[in-house]
């Protein structure tokens, strides 16, 4: 019997928020407070596998990994979009054009303030290589002592170690952490605030190449999330370990007992439980913590100081809260004061599939958030 091929569908991307360098893949260069359809659309095979879709956004640039291709958009002053450096931003998603060794496919991406990381995997051997581009004044590129700028993509030497694979990858503004398949963790970049563990705090100018991070005995990391000055790990059993030397916002002292999917903002942490409830801790100066009125969530994405979620009951509406100065939490609503527009403490509905002309037969498959930026991905129902 001939096996039926999976159907082809259009992936439609809506973005809103900070767009000064066109990092939303909207060419106007102006902030947007209404989710706006990105001009570039992509064909995907349905069902779309979750591991084939990933978007990361930091500073003023964005990376999109869609199965076997990485796309970039936004500020490219230092080559952080893996394109030739230019003072002119990239205004819509463009495939990374620089040449790679044959038979390599991207499997992980991360973005810091002005640098980017892509992990490629050899489809034949399973071996991995990590490439970086951009600028990192505290070792964020991981290329060795005092390598601050890499205008063309460059492979990080001897990482991951021979025979090892990167299972998880995350970046804060100025540091990067990788969790390997043997349960070890490595980090590089800014370490002064203890985000790479106490053993690296003395590296005042940064950790310039991937270095092992000491974790508690018996702790096996399953996932990692990076804030500005901390790194948070979850274990295979759901335990949380947070690394920072100055617990200014209580990200260590207020770790909850609940277990779930961990995500990070600049100064706060958020955990999506299997029940759809969200537990938030850390800084709440901009309404980052989950409001009591928030719906149960089927998906969650955390940006610099805001959160967006997919309503679990309908799976057709998206809500936002937190710091929304650039429109990343939607439009100011009638009756709201100006501060409420900037600091959204009540869950605000920012998107509904049913309100999109011609798209009511679509479903939301992915959410992403970055530096005052929000993203919603839809595909047509099968």
Taking only the tens place, the pLDDT of each residue in 48-59 is 888 899 999 999
The pTM assigned to this predicted structure is: 0.95
Using a pLDDT cut of 70, give the percent of the chain over it: 97
Contact 173, 182 (CB under 8 A): no
Q: C-alpha dihedral over 240, 243, 244, 250, to 10 degrees?
A: 0
> How far, in Å, are 12, 134, 154, 264 from residue 21 at the CA level?
21, 16, 24, 24
Output the six-digit token pair for 124.
Answer: 């034949």
Over 60: is that where the pLDDT of 364 sits?
yes
Taking only the tens place, the pLDDT of each residue in 271-321 is 999 999 999 999 999 999 999 999 999 999 999 999 999 999 999 999 999
Question: 133 phi and psi, to 5 degrees?
Answer: -160, 155
């Amino acid at each position: 019997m001939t096996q039926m091929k999976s159907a082809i569908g259009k992936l439609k991307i809506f973005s809103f928020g900070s767009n000064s360098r066109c990092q939303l893949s909207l060419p106007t260069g102006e902030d947007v407070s209404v989710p706006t359809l990105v001009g570039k659309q992509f064909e995907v095979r349905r069902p779309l596998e979750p591991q084939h879709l990933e978007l990361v956004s930091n500073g003023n640039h964005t990376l999109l990994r869609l199965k076997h291709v990485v796309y970039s958009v936004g500020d490219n002053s230092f080559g952080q979009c893996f394109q030739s450096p230019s003072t002119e931003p990239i205004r819509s998603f463009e495939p990374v054009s620089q040449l790679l060794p044959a038979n390599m496919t991207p499997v992980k991406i991360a973005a810091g303030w002005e640098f980017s990381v892509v992990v490629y995997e050899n489809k034949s051997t399973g071996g991995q290589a990590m490439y970086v581009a951009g600028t990192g004044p505290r070792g964020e590129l991981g290329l060795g002592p005092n390598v601050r700028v890499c205008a063309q993509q460059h492979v990080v030497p001897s990482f991951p170690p021979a025979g090892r694979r990167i299972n998880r990858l995350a970046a804060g503004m100025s540091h990067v952490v990788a969790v390997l398949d043997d349960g070890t963790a490595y980090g590089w970049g800014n370490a002064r605030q203890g985000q790479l563990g106490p053993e690296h705090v003395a590296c005042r100018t940064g950790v310039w190449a991937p270095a092992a991070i000491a974790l508690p005995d018996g702790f096996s990391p399953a996932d990692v999330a990076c804030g500005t000055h901390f790194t948070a790990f979850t274990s295979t059993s759901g335990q949380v370990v947070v690394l920072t030397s100055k617990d200014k916002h209580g990200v260590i002292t207020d770790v909850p007992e609940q277990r779930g999917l961990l995500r990070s903002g600049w100064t706060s942490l958020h955990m999506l439980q299997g029940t759809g409830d969200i537990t938030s801790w850390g800084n709440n100066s901009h309404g980052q913590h989950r409001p009591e009125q928030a719906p149960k969530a089927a998906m969650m994405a955390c940006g610099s100081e805001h959160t967006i979620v997919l309503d679990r009951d309908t799976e057709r509406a998206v809500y936002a809260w937190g710091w929304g100065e650039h429109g990343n939490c939607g439009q100011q609503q009638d009756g709201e004061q100006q501060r409420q527009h900037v600091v959204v403490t009540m869950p605000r509905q920012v998107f509904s599939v049913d309100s999109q002309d011609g798209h009511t037969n679509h479903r939301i498959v992915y959410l992403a958030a970055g530096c005052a930026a929000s993203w919603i991905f839809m595909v047509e129902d099968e």
